[in-house]
Structure 1
């Protein structure tokens, strides 16, 4: 069963998405809150993960971040990591209020940029009883420093400064192309079946990315069980940073390392990533597990 859902954040922004549940549930269900990565929308591959979870008896609440896709919010196509973090907490609240859901069995799943968000939320919100981060961003500043040549750094910073000045002077949001990386563009060609992706993001989104340091939170996630699904050649969110974060996380935790690049978990390694996800939530969110 899949239906459209709508809920409002604490600052009254209306977010929209999908709610998945097994067709014949006789008891209140564990629920996984699921969000997408940077510039992505929920139709870009999340339904496959959600459907795998419903086959294992879970409900799933998947939604578009504010300013993206079907959700409201201004500016459009802007990703503020801290707003997204608090919106995720509002999504958790909404999930606990649904009559089908057991509010004591809420899990969180995030990927790429929202994988970082999931790490942060799991560290501060104890309503989350289990978390999965797939190819998560660990350090926005380190990632940007890796991808921007030192000779281009001054120009990169000047773009942010100019955008902030123009937005105050003119009152119009400044935008830029999000990516020219062929690996990323090719992935979108595979998953954007409805033609909804626009290779555009606010300039300030890239500036705010450098404020985003989910790796600083990982030691605080425990005692919430943490699964990280990582690719051994992730050049987008950087495998070495992910492994370092995993090593700093405390038990209980588990690492699944797949072969390939950042997007492998959604394509060629989907079966492995999906099974690991379902097994982890089953281990920690079933009724018997919650009473151990």
Structure 2
């Protein structure tokens, strides 16, 4: 995902931390935005559509700025080598702008066996409902049956 964040983002974060230390309300930032250049946690049309399709009525599209900082520091594949011998199934969408394909494939390569890779067509949110859900769910069920019902 390509996104442009404000050049003064570190300054914005520092000002927010000082304000919170004084007991003030935290700064807020949108969770999703259609504009890939917007200052939000997940700026892309894919994210906006994906989140919008599954959120309840009345949901407010904002989160504390400190959550954005934590999100940026999150490295989901950092310890992937240590989760063996736990069976791992990676569902990697071939057009995912949320989780870049090269990073996901790199994590899969570092994962220990047993592991399985499934790459259906579509974007990050596509397997959560509709036709791709119907195609993807049996892959997950077979994996779970194979590894949990031994």
Q: TM-score, normalized by length of structure 2?
A: 0.83
Question: What SS does the corresponding residue of 1:260 show, helix, strand or coil?
Answer: coil
Q: TM-score, normalized by length of structure 1?
A: 0.44
Instruction: Report how many aligned residue pairs link the two structures.
Output: 139
* 5+ long unaligned stretches in structure 2: 34-43
Over 6 Å off, 4+ runs: none
Mapping 1:1-292, distance limit 5 Å: 147-149=2-4, 152=5, 154-180=7-33, 181-192=44-55, 194-267=56-129, 268-286=131-149, 289=150
Task: Provide Cα deviations, 1:206-243, integer angstroms capped at 9, x if missing partner.
Answer: 10112211211111111111001110111112111111
Distance (whole Å) between structure 1 residues aligned to residue 102 and residue 147 of structure 2: 27
Q: Is the 8 A contact 1:188 1:197 kept in 2?
A: no
Q: Is the 8 A contact 2:46 2:97 kept in 1?
A: no
Question: What SS does the corresponding residue of 1:234 show, helix, strand or coil?
Answer: coil
Give 1 or 2: higher strand fraction: 1
Q: Is the 8 A contact 2:32 2:51 kept in 1?
A: no
* 5+ long unaligned stretches in structure 1: 1-145
Q: Is the 8 A contact 2:97 2:124 kept in 1?
A: yes
RMSD across aligned positions (CA): 1.8
Distance (whole Å) between structure 1 residues aligned to residue 63 and residue 2 of structure 2: 17
Deviation at residue 153 of structure 1 after TM alignment: 5.2
Cα gap change, 1:158/1:147 in structure 2, threshold over 3 Å: closer, same or farther?
A: farther
